[in-house]
A and B are shown apart, each in its own frame.
Chain A
Amino acid sequence: MNKKNLIKIVLLIFTISAFCSCEKWIDPDININPDRVSEVTMKTLLPSIEAHLAYVVSGGSDIIGYQAIWLQQLDGTAGESMTHSNYVLQPTSVGWLFDGTYSNAMMDALALIDLATEKNSPHNKGVAKICLAICLGQLTDVFNDIPWSEAFQGIANPTPAYDSQEFTYSEIQRLLTEAIHNLSEPNEPIGIDGDYFYDGDHTLWLKAAHALKARYYLHLTKRNGNQAYQNALGELNLAFTSNMDDLQFKYGPGANESNPLHQFMRDWDNVRMGAYFIDMLKEYDDPRLGVYAYPNYNDEYTGSIPGSGNSTASKPGSAVADAESPTYVITFVEILFMKAEIMYQTGNNENQVKEVLIQAVSESLDQFDVYNEDWLTEYTSSIENLQGNDLFEELMTQKYIATFYQPEVYHSWRRTGFPVIPPNPVGAEAEIPRRFPYSSFELVFNKENVPQGITITDRVWWDE
């Protein structure tokens, strides 16, 4: 073989390998992320949605936690929580609540709706809509105006406009009505899988939808007056009928499946019971004291006064801060309180109102396994002479106690002003805050649309 041929061979080998490489070596399938999947099932979407809905939206330290401190049911005694006791809340502290809920729970709920439509599963569609409504409701109740009509479009609309709370409320009711319609469909071939809340029982979801409609109608009492009570009443009768119907998320004992407040206490330990709340419970000799709080090192139940940083006070108890303490989204007890309030405001006989009040308190004791017949009897006689505004104040105070660390307690307090909580005298604001600031991410990445000049003492639309 001579040199010329050799050279030709070399160049041939070179050219062949060059071609081979580009075709097979640069295989576009390699750039498909093996750690991601492009299509999922309804059964795998629903658990993600529900977990975020419970752990963050309905029980998160960055929403319910702040509210509990403001209402002095808890008090921040160290770290950043102390600043919350002093009525300072930074936009960075609510950024995750906002961004996470939109891009996780709500985005997944929309995907679930699409998937349910494709697979023809009205029940799943209904559940997804209820979850959406709850997220919307919780967000607007603390943020007032939020994006909705232009949201969820990704790069097509990276800066969605903000809608009014009035519009958001009408959308919440629309979603719930549609959900009720979906869940009322008789033929559901697929069934609701991956459902932590009700294990697929669509009748309970129906009840929950009505309960939620009632709650959101009732929020508008300052705006709609009597109409709000009427609308709510209409829904109440189709809502929960016992504590077993509660929309609640039950956690597990393990470190990564446990209650958010439990995890907060385990990892930060920055809050204790609030003095105002403990004093109130002690005054009532309330049987729930022992489950709402743990005795402190002196075996006493004490609370911390806002701004005092008293970390020797009692820690939150087994009802709300154990690993398996459930997060309640909306409960039968809340329904009863709504009913009592509506009865009072629509001119019913006050004795009937008291009956429902007693029933509500009784069911609350039952909910926490501290039912005490004697105490109830005593309590009943203690309120015998209450009437008029005093009765209403007592009613709302009992609701405050019964809905400790639940989503509704802050909304009810804002709406009615009861119980009357003395603001922290060393707080940065003269009064207890009425809303959250806007998310720090929104302030930067959606600058043109975020309403400007908001302070945390501003009132949301239904609170004005």
Chain B
Amino acid sequence: MLVLIIGYFQVVAQSSISGTVTSAVNNEPLHGVSVAVKNSLVGTSADANGFYKLTLPETAKVLVFSFVGMITAEVEIGDNTTIDVTLQPDSLILEEVVVTAIGITREKKALGYSVQELSNHDITVVPNENLVNSLSGKVAGVHVTSTSGSPGASAYITIRGAASINGNNQPLFVVDGVPVNNYERWTGAAGVDMTNRITDINPGDIQSVSVLKGGAATALYGLRAVNGAIIITTKRGAKTDGNNVNVSLQSSLSFDRVSQLPELQTRYGQGLYGNWISGNFVSWGPRLDTCSYSKDPGDWIYPEYDVDGAIVSNNSEYATGDPINIYDHYNFFQTGISTNTTLSLSGGSDKATFYTSTSYTSTTGVVPNSNWKRFTVKVAGDANLSETFKILGSINYMKSGGDRMQKGVSWSGVMLGILRTPPTFDNAAGYEFPDGSQRNYRHGSGYDNPYWSVNKNLFKDDVNHMIGHIGFNWFVTNWMQVKYKLGGDFNNTHFKNYYAIGSNEQANGSVHVVSSNHRIINSDLIIQLNHRFNNHWETSFKLGHNMFESFGNSVSGRALGLELPGFYHLSNSSDITTSESSSQVRHAGMFGDLELSYNQMVYLSLTGRNDWSTTLPKDNNSFFYPSASIGWVFTGLNFLKDNKILPYGKLRFSLAQIANDPGPYQTFTGYYRPWIWDYYSWVGLNFPLLGETGFTLSNTLGNPELEPELTTSWEMGVDLKFLDNRLAVDFTYFNNYSDGLLLPVQLSGASGFYQVNMNAAGMSTKGIEAIIYGNPIRKTNWHWDFTFNFTRYKNMVEHIPDNMESLGLGWRDPWLVAKEGYPYQSFFGYDWYRDENGKILIDDDAESPGYGFPLGYDTEETIYLGKVNPDWTLGWTNNLIYRNLTLTFLLEFKKGGNMFNGTKGSLYYYGAHKDQESREPGDEVIFEGVKVSDGSTNDIKVVKGQNWYFNGQGSTNTGMGSPFIENAGWIRLREIALTYNIRESIFKDGWIKGLEFYIACKNLWLQTEYSGIDPETSLYGAYNAQGIDYYNNPGTKSYTLGFRASF
């Protein structure tokens, strides 16, 4: 077919045209203005004198002159051989073009919905290794939660809240028109912090990021549209003068420190009932300032563990009088160092452009031995094969991986090991004995010494990732254009996770190896027809066809129990289980998009897309999604035109129906290999078992009547620009209602199944977004502009099946749930017994061990304790420029939103938290409440010591989780950067074209009520179960130095 088309292109009669382009601002020539024949590929750019020359094809009718920041001019060629043009400045930035769905670029002015764009500068001014983190606070409606400060850690992103209860709530990521994989492996409450695949992309290669917030903006994506889309456009290169190549080199060096940690007590030692007990699991031992060491063999039974000596009371027979050493366990953390370098070359002529880059990022974390590295190579280019046919392509190879440390409930979790250690035990004094057994504060059992964990139990991953595309643009006529793009995202991930013999998580050692592949293939064919009826009406119609496939498979081997120590290999065990899995989804779609505009004032857009999906039942796998949007630039009305106060104002309204299809295989029930376990088993019985192969019927019943989850969304807003763009306001109200949400509807186990996936729930999100831009100072030497991005929304669960009280999203006690009538991701838990006035009942039975403490908590009912989503968020970006110095900072505010501080609830059991330094007579408190027997106000003094936290209900181990739900709102200085730009004038004709140096900080300042680690954290990673902190790896703040040079 290609041959056919190329054959068509014969040489046609040509004439030439030339001229000069100047700026109306200062009459200076404009270097680099794009001069192009409308609806063709013929074009060039003006040189340093503003001069251009073009050879015109016979069909050329109109020349288009465009330049960033200037208003585009279109001039009819007629018989002229010279056309000089003066361009007016676009101070209102009305011609801003944004990338919308399916790679279609449109003027922002013409859109009936809200879109926000970020430039390369916006996302790299303070470098982040994960580009999702670079979006935080900069786009209204977008909420980003970083999983932790671990190298390579993922980040969870939602746009306008969640539309699905159980399914994916993260937006579609599209890179140069190709939908890419942003998968992060699920590890549950244990495991390591994983990486979401978008992190493989080098942010330095990104030209711009366009955020489509859902509804009409993403309707053209059909089945993948509901959570919004992040459209990433990578650099392509541009025309250079003469034969030059533009070279750019950027490099930075960062130092990371732990940002915030829970406070630990240092007053009491290991043991129970005030007695020091070597190897005991908690810290309810003696007051250390009344103790000293004894090295008498009668006392000092375990010298290998208690290296300083046995801890005895000062008046004990063999006490040496030496004061007890208090160890700061946080000395475990180190300064993480990361480096980041990108080198790129680009250039081009009128007929072709190219861009190539390579980068290397290497990060070591604050936890010793944790690291993550990324290497990328990218080559992209496009070439005009003729005046009407352009081909384009790009290949981006990325390699990433690291060594990761355990977190959360894992008994090899670094935080769990550090925080539970009593203040008198020095983990750093040694973690391994000559015989290979472990030294920790529990005589080898319980939880791993964190030094053991980071040296012996590693998770190593290695990812090879490639994203690429090839395509063409063909101007068939000057009113019809055909675009085609075939793209793919391929990755192979290989990881090995091992535990040494003697580890508490796997006593006999283990190795788990997984190799998995994933590919996405996407094909988009678009036919675009443009027509201008007269001076007032313009229309454009696009017809599109899409084919999409996502395919993954993996093989894994797990060896339980290693024979030879230190050899972490599947051959080193007699107990090996292997498994395989695969998954495949295909979509096909047809879409149409009709745009109509009147007088550049009223814009109407209608779209419709029909999708077919393999994940839906065969006889019902086709669905249609329409949308409509309208924008009215009301300042185009005659009486408002050219007024100085409000030169630009637009009203917009849009309405759309979009969907989310189910995951694959949900219409199917079948048999699989069983795993036999009782309630307490970590391992249980695996098949093949003792020589037999077994199968068991799935506990999830397939549903042959599945439908996609459907969201009806409407949005209205207003864009206003005041006073020559000194102030701009963009305000949006949106309302999304999602129905037919897929839920595992629980059945009684006695039915033979636990659950069946049904379209059984509904959720809504309603909110506002406000973007306020101000530019108070705009002088030659001084410039100050700021942007506020404000988001406020309510994400409510409208209905779930009647037989379900709620759907659990994660954790138990408290439960993170979706429950009818409550916000999505609400916390529910138990409550103290209270009287009719809501006062806590206090046990006033003098015989009872709980005398003076709350009577107990009611396990029959649960109450609402809070929600994860904040009340509102605000990101305030500031740019201050004075001559060559630029100060940029981003201050983020998060109001409301709760987090479960499970770490603190657990530490209370262990007597390890700072709050528990007052545990003796003399530290009495009175619990607020009323006495059980007579309802009078409680006045019983009690000491909150072991009797409360360990034997009583004061911790999450012995009591409930509700008291540990905390307010996780914060104010933080997310980014601050000071850049010194060495102006071009110094380099004039030199080989350096530009150079800037900068210092930057991330998370420099954090103000929060939350008493644990940085509350921007997630135990379960980038999944719907947010808001849980249980020995999560801590967050970090960093200090960076860097430079950017262009040659």
Contact = CB atoms under 8 A, between A and B. Distances in A.
A254 interface: yes
A242 B928 CA distance: 66
A63 B957 CA distance: 22
B663 to A, nearest CB: 10
A268 interface: yes
B1 interface: yes
Interface string B544-588: 010100000000000011000000000000110100111111111
B515 interface: no
Interface in A403-460: 439, 441-442, 444-447, 449
B51 interface: no
A196 B682 contact: no
Contacts of A65: 680
B612 A13 contact: no
A242 B585 CA distance: 58
Contacts of A52: 674, 676
Interface size for chain B: under 10, 10 to 19, 20 to 34, or 35 or more residues?
Answer: 35 or more
A157 B560 CA distance: 41
Contacts of A92: 812
Contact of B665 (A9, A22, A33): A33
Contacts of B925: none
Interface string B658-700: 0000001101111110101111111111110110111111110
Contacts of A299: none
Contacts of B664: 30-31, 33
A337 to B, nearest CB: 26
Contact of B585 (A30, A111, A155, A194): A30
A196 B588 CA distance: 50
A399 to B, nearest CB: 25
Q: How large is the interface on A (under 10, 10 to 19, 20 to 34, 35 or more residues)?
A: 35 or more
B345 interface: no
B275 to A, nearest CB: 13
The listed residue with most B CB atoms (<10 A of its CB), out of A6, A37, A152, A153, is: A6
Interface stretch (A53-61, A215-223, A374-382, A386-394): A53-61
Given A55-B684, A102-B750, A3 B560 contact: no
A278 B510 CA distance: 36
A267 B683 contact: yes
A98 B665 contact: no
A23 to B, nearest CB: 10
A250 B747 CA distance: 34
Contact of A26 (B476, B614, B680, B687): B614
Interface in A57-71: 60-63, 65
Given A35-B672, A36-B670, A51-B689, A267 B681 contact: yes
A264 B680 contact: yes
Nearest to A196: B690
B621 interface: yes
A10 B749 contact: no
A444 B687 CA distance: 32
B646 interface: no
A40 B676 contact: no
A40 B4 CA distance: 55
Contact of B676 (A14, A56, A444): A56
A164 to B, nearest CB: 15
A26 B756 CA distance: 24
Given A27-B586, A155-B747, A194-B694, A444 B575 contact: no
Contacts of B629: none
Interface string A366-384: 0000000000000000000
A35 B582 contact: yes
B690 A45 contact: no
B97 to A, nearest CB: 26
Contacts of B957: 79
Given A21-B545, A158-B747, A152 B752 contact: yes
B791 interface: no
B750 A257 contact: no
B804 interface: yes
B674 A51 contact: yes
B433 interface: no
* Dominant SS among interface residues on chain A: helix
B533 interface: no
A301 B514 CA distance: 45
B805 A444 contact: yes
Contact of B694 (A1, A48, A110, A266): A48
Given A155-B756, A255-B560, A441-B748, A194 B692 contact: yes
B778 interface: no
Nearest to B581: A35
A181 to B, nearest CB: 25
A31 B697 CA distance: 18
Given A18-B545, A37-B671, A263-B683, A446 B692 contact: no
A94 B686 CA distance: 22
B5 to A, nearest CB: 8
Contacts of A146: 750
A441 B749 contact: yes
B685 A10 contact: no
Interface string B437-448: 000000001000
B804 A445 contact: yes
B87 to A, nearest CB: 33
B14 interface: no
A119 to B, nearest CB: 16
Interface in B1-47: 1, 4, 8
B695 A48 contact: yes
A234 interface: no
Interface in A96-122: 96-100, 102-104, 106-108, 110-111
A269 B682 CA distance: 13
Contact of B751 (A158, A196, A253): A158
A151 interface: yes
B749 A99 contact: yes
A78 B672 CA distance: 36
Nearest to A92: B812
B8 A21 contact: no
Contacts of B587: 26
Contact of B753 (A44, A55, A154): A154
Contacts of A37: 670-672, 695
Given A159-B748, A264-B680, A256 B575 contact: yes
Interface in B465-522: 476-477, 480, 482, 506-508, 510
A218 to B, nearest CB: 27
A103 B699 contact: yes
Contacts of A46: 694
B293 interface: no
B1018 to A, nearest CB: 24
B646 to A, nearest CB: 45
Given A107-B697, A107-B752, A252 B690 contact: yes
A385 interface: no
A445 B665 CA distance: 25
Nearest to A152: B752
Contact of A6 (B8, B693, B697): B8
A315 to B, nearest CB: 12
A137 interface: no
A252 B672 CA distance: 22
Nearest to B553: A34
B527 interface: yes
Nearest to A33: B665
25 contacts: A7-B480, A10-B527, A11-B527, A25-B586, A28-B618, A30-B614, A30-B664, A37-B670, A44-B692, A44-B693, A44-B695, A45-B696, A48-B695, A56-B677, A95-B679, A103-B697, A147-B750, A153-B752, A154-B701, A196-B690, A260-B678, A264-B681, A441-B746, A444-B746, A446-B750
Ranked nearest first, the 3 interchain pairs of A and B with the lowest CB-CB distance are A36-B670, A99-B749, A254-B575
Given A61-B679, A153-B752, A255-B561, 16 more contacts: A7-B477, A7-B480, A14-B545, A22-B588, A37-B695, A46-B694, A47-B687, A96-B677, A96-B679, A104-B696, A151-B752, A196-B692, A250-B690, A253-B574, A255-B683, A257-B686
